[in-house]
Amino acid sequence: MTYFKNSILCLCGILWAFSASGQVHKPYEPTPFPDRLILGWQGNPATSQSVNWRTDTTVTGAVGAIHEVDPSPDFVKNAKIVTATTQKVNIEGKTVLYHSVHFTDLKPATKYSYRVGAGEHWSEWFHFKTAENKAAPFSFLYFGDAQNDIRSLWSRAIRGAYATMPSVNFMIHAGDLITTSNADWQWGEWFEAGGWINGMVPTLATPGNHEYYREENGERRVSKHWRPSFVLPENGPEKLKETAYYFDYQGVRFISLNSQAALLDSTVMELQADWVINILKNNPNRWTVVTHHHPIYSTATGRDNDEWRLKMEPIYKQYQVDLVLQGHDHTYGRGLNMPLGKSRKYPDGPIYVVSVSGPKMYNIGLQDWMDRAASNTQLYQIVSVDGAKLSYQSYTVTGELYDAFQLVKNPKGKNTLVDQSPTLKPELLELPAQYRTRFTPKEKEEYENRFQEYKKKKQLKK
């Protein structure tokens, strides 16, 4: 009987489940050891750091341990122990524990070692560095939708980004991290893809439409995984806790908005717009960066979020938002809303970016607002801020620089755009394979005409 039981356990350990698409995936069962560990913030990035992780239900007394970095291993016995908060979550008929610990009273611009766990079950020791308590140079990563084939193909985006800029200060995800809101295996793939990077570099995420599901009563809600899985600022509207928020980092105000909730409910859109106006009215920072899932200007054919644009773009222009980072359209576009023929060197509003980091690709629209575009290309972005200069670089997942520009801000707060993309290789605008095979000859001709028109319009922008 013992042999039979052990054989069954072994078989369960190697068995792979099948998804609806027919792909195999791991079940990602929790254990007493911490997994899905991720850094975030709910306080001042200069003096605090929050950590979140998951275990099975056998764990009691979860804690975090922290100490300033020390090249000697002797620091372990002197590490400060901080009690974690624990939450039971039932998903797919299984109860798991999510734990959060908030390290506070930290020194600014200081590197720390930490680990989390309980009893005999601990994570490895990780390092992080607190922010400076004043304006100072830093960099962050920005990812568009991961969504599909997360473990197999999106993993190369986050790992390539970290390899390109290992000293990066945090990461922004612009929604649709997964494709099925409450599918545990997809969240398992997302956390596996980021792996230990999530334990070293804080994550700031905003939800997309795929993070939402419909309850039996018809109400739409954010994924059951969202709030248990992340530690995000809780300073947004009450209805949008940890899905709309802001934080200040070394001279930049970052605002994350929940465009999905706004598009589902006009009262939420009004609530969010009023909230963001107050956040922008009282902004002491030189730079302002906004992120949300649905684009103000779309890059894909047949997609337009006009309600969102009509509400938010006037606010962005009035309060001088510099950069808006978005997802949703599974193509790449970067540009600004200015009339053709007018110099784009002096933007009268924010620079808009739509990007995609996962392998799901759409038919690109090639609209007038776009100064640089890409189709059928996985990308990641690095944004750096240094005083009066903001530098943006977009890379393919193979590590090739694909797009780049700088914003230089004068003492009156006006930006000059230095577009570096004309020196780079030609745009990648080939149709994704799915469209090449299913488009009719007429549809292919329409795309080619759109492509030629796009090239002509780009000449007018010069």
Q: pTM for the complete prediction?
A: 0.93
What pLDDT is recorded for position 26?
Answer: 61
What pLDDT is recorded for position 25?
Answer: 55
Q: Look at the block and give the residue holding tokens 């254990």.
A: 31
Distance CA 131, CA 42 (A): 14
Could you tell me which of 228, 237, 310 has the C-alpha nearest to residue 268?
A: 237
Helix and strand totals (H; E) in the chain? 10, 27
DSSP 359-395: S----B---TTEEEEESS--EEEEEEEETTEEEEEEE
DSSP strand pairing (111-118 vs 94-103): unpaired
The alpha-carbon radius of gyration of the chain (Å, integer) is 23
Residue type, 107: K
Q: Beta-strand (E) ranges in 110-152?
A: 111-118, 121-122, 126-129, 138-143
- Tell me if 199 sits within 8 A of 38, measured CB to CB: yes
- Tell me if 329 sits within 8 A of 266, measured CB to CB: no
Q: Is 430 helix (H, G, I), strand (E, B) or coil?
A: coil
Mean pLDDT, 10 residues at a time, the chain of 462 residues: 42 42 68 98 97 98 98 97 97 95 98 97 98 98 98 98 97 98 97 98 98 91 96 95 97 98 96 97 97 95 90 97 98 91 90 98 91 96 98 98 98 96 93 88 88 81 66
Domain boundaries defined on the chain = 35-129, 138-461
Q: Is 383 helix (H, G, I), strand (E, B) or coil?
A: strand
The secondary element (H helix, E strand) that includes residue 442 is helix 441-461
Angle between helices 266-281 and 306-318 (to 10 degrees): 10
Give the Cβ contact number of residue 180 at 10 Å: 16
Instruction: Evaluate the CA torsion angle 140, 142, 147, 153 in order and state its sign.
Output: negative
Distance CA 401, CA 358 (A): 17
* CATH architecture type of domain 35-129: Sandwich (2.60)
Question: Length of the chain, please?
Answer: 462
Residue type, 174: A
Distance CA 252, CA 292 (A): 17
Give the Cβ contact number of residue 124 at 10 Å: 11
What pLDDT is recorded for position 23?
Answer: 54
- Tell me if 227 sits within 8 A of 242, measured CB to CB: yes
In CATH, which of 3.30.420.10, 3.90.550.10, 1.10.3210.10, 3.60.21.10 is domain 138-461? 3.60.21.10
What pLDDT is recorded for position 15?
Answer: 41
Residue type, 89: V
Burial class (CB within 10 angstroms; exposed 0-12, middle 13-18, buried 19+) of 225? buried
What pLDDT is recorded for position 167?
Answer: 96
